[in-house]
A and B are shown apart, each in its own frame.
Chain A
Amino acid sequence: MSVELLISLGIPVLLIVVGRIVGSRIERRHYESIIEREALFGDQPAFSTKQFDAPIPVRAASLAVGSVVVSVDHFKRFISSFRMMFGGEVRSYSSLIDRARREAVLRMKESQPDAHAYLNTRLETSTISSTSSNEGIGTIEVLAYGTAVHYDRAP
């Protein structure tokens, strides 16, 4: 009886603890890599506008696409279930969305690494549903796409 109780209570708690420890490490490392790579693309801006005044004529244009699927860890899922009871901002999820968007934009830039600018950048977010009932909660895909333009010569 007590062993059964221990197992039925212990496994969810264990998953939450593992999620907390490993999840926050993964998140920290991911942010480090995002900041490092964003610095590399510092002089290749992404615009959300369709037109901009190019300093010199544009030589070529092509489509740049980047996407990523991320999910939250069990700890954050657990915390957010409390938040859902009282309402208000779900802070534990906002870092997930932020990571995903920045990663998607970075991958878009990396798909055309030698472009000088990215025009009309669009961001689309969609939730991924799972075949098993609620595993899909907190799993999102972010797609970033835009037109990569190359100048005639380096500005």
Chain B
Amino acid sequence: MILTNIDSVPGRPIVQHFGLVQGSTIRAKHFGRDFAAGLKNIVGGELKGYTELLQESRAQATSRMVEQARELGANAVINVRFTTSSVAQGASEILAYGTAVSVE
């Protein structure tokens, strides 16, 4: 499965369009990480626990999108976009969406 965030897959012409595919996940932070991040907040810098958490969620959203594209018979997803929105205190939704296509 090829993913790009431009309108095409360079060097490989598109033969069929399948339309929009998307994958999303809503994640909450757990208490331990929140506590550690609270301590790290004093000195600033990177909060590795949160970075990892968001990376995991984004990977899951992406794989759900890829799964949907695979079911349609696509072999690439173009114009992939990521968005994040907070649905509640301490929980956020991560959405990945794109256009499923079939390329040569």
Interface of A toward B, CB cutoff 8 Å: 15, 18-19, 22-23, 26-27, 30, 50-51, 54, 57-63, 65, 67-74, 76, 96, 103, 119-120, 122, 124, 126, 128-132, 135, 138-139, 141, 143, 145-147, 149
Contacts known (A72-B44, A73-B44); A141 close to B50, Cβ less than 8 A: yes
Contacts known (A50-B7, A124-B83, A131-B29); A69 close to B44, Cβ less than 8 A: no
Selected from A62, A96, A132, A145, the residue in CB contact (under 8 A) with B44 is A96
Write out, one digit per residue, whether chain B residues 32-67 have a CB within 8 A of any chain A CB (1) or not (0). Answer: 001001101111111110110011001000000000
The verdict on B11 contacting chain A, using a C-beta distance below 8 Å, is: yes
Contact B42 A61 (CB under 8 A): no
CB distance from B92 to the nearest CB of A (A): 8
Chain B residue numbers with a CB within 8 Å of A22 are 42-43
Chain B residue numbers with a CB within 8 Å of A149 are 10
- Size category of the binding interface on chain B: 35 or more
CB distance from B1 to the nearest CB of A (A): 10
Residue of B nearest to A49 (CB): B6
Selected from B38, B40, B81, the residue in CB contact (under 8 A) with A132 is B38
Chain B residue numbers with a CB within 8 Å of A135 are 37-38, 41
Contact A23 B4 (CB under 8 A): no
Interface of B toward A, CB cutoff 8 Å: 2-7, 9-11, 29, 31, 34, 37-38, 40-48, 50-51, 54-55, 58, 80-84, 86, 89-90, 92
CB distance from B74 to the nearest CB of A (A): 15
Contact A23 B6 (CB under 8 A): no
CB distance from B43 to the nearest CB of A (A): 4
Residue of B nearest to A66 (CB): B55
Task: Give A120 to B80 CA distance when docked, in angstroms.
Answer: 11
Task: Give A67 to B46 CA distance when docked, in angstroms.
Answer: 11
CB-CB nearest 8 A-B residue pairs = A73-B44, A58-B10, A63-B3, A131-B90, A69-B50, A22-B43, A26-B45, A23-B44
Contact A15 B90 (CB under 8 A): no
